[in-house]
Amino acid sequence: NAGVTQTPKFRVLKTGQSMTLLCAQDMNHEYMYWYRQDPGMGLRLIHYSVGEGTTAKGEVPDGYNVSRLKKQNFLLGLESAAPSQTSVYFCASSPLGTGAYNEQFFGPGTRLTVL
Amino acid sequence: RKEVEQDPGPFNVPEGATVAFNCTYSNSASQSFFWYRQDCRKEPKLLMSVYSSGNEDGRFTAQLNRASQYISLLIRDSKLSDSATYLCVVNRETGGYNKLIFGAGTRLAVHP
């Protein structure tokens, strides 16, 4: 099992450009998440999905869109990149259920720089 | 104020030392608690869950104090390979969804 994979690993954009980050998981997890991690701050949730065809806003959704057309894939889109979106982006997944002990499995991250 | 607060460190300790990290959380509705480990430029990985009665996993001991809303992680006999950032994570259910709230992390550097 590959677990959670992310593409690309690195990307440099110019302000105003668009791009899509792809996350894929092979663990048959229902829940998927997109986070961003910035220096001195904890991971912050951008958007999440509780199943195929569903998406919901997290803590910092502005400037991002997501889609979950297939259960195993969760896409994060930046329509018009801004320097404030320079960050490391992590995708994660977790099994179905709202039990109290809910481990999330993370992908290796995408380092995005917006000039 | 951040919902989960940690001392950023770094904690610089020699091999073999015992080191403890504390973390405080502000939302009393938090239901479960974790420590994740993040190596430099890598993804976070679950180190251990934190149970109300406290729990141990080899050299690692986690404690929870719900009354004071703090969580601790004790590492005994530190190894060079323990060098990493340790993330305190709190789980809170909202709208049927389990939301993980991450602290910014405490950096540990173990030296020979």
User: For the segment B27-85, what is each residue's pLDDT rounded down to a tens digit?
Assistant: 888 888 999 999 999 999 999 999 888 899 999 999 999 999 999 999 999 999 999 99
Q: List the structure tokens of B95.
A: 């709208």
Contact status of B55 with chain A (Cβ, < 8 Å) = no
Spatial distance between the Cα atoms of B52 and B64, rounded to a whole number of angstroms: 6
B100 vs A107: CB contact, 8 Å cut-off? no
Who among B43, B45, B93 is closest to A98 (CB)?
Answer: B93
Contact status of B93 with chain A (Cβ, < 8 Å) = yes
Q: Give the model's pLDDT for residue B96.
A: 66
CB atoms within 10 A of CB A18: 10
CB A77 within 8 A of CB A66: yes
Q: Bigger pLDDT: B98 or B57?
A: B57
A42 vs B4: CB contact, 8 Å cut-off? yes
- Find chain B residues with C-beta within 8 A of A90's C-beta: 43-44
Rounded to the nearest angstrom, the minimum Cα separation between B111 and chain A is 23
Spatial distance between the Cα atoms of A63 and A66, rounded to a whole number of angstroms: 11
A-B CB pairs within 8 A amount to 54
Tens-digit pLDDT profile for chain A (115 aa)? 789 999 999 999 999 999 999 999 999 999 999 999 998 888 999 999 989 999 999 989 999 999 999 999 999 999 999 999 999 999 999 886 555 567 889 999 999 999 9
Spatial distance between the Cα atoms of A53 and A56, rounded to a whole number of angstroms: 11
Please identify which residue in the block is written with the tokens 């608690």: B33
Burial degree of B31 (CB within 10 A; 0-12, 13-18, 19+): middle
Residue in B closest to A106 by C-alpha: B43
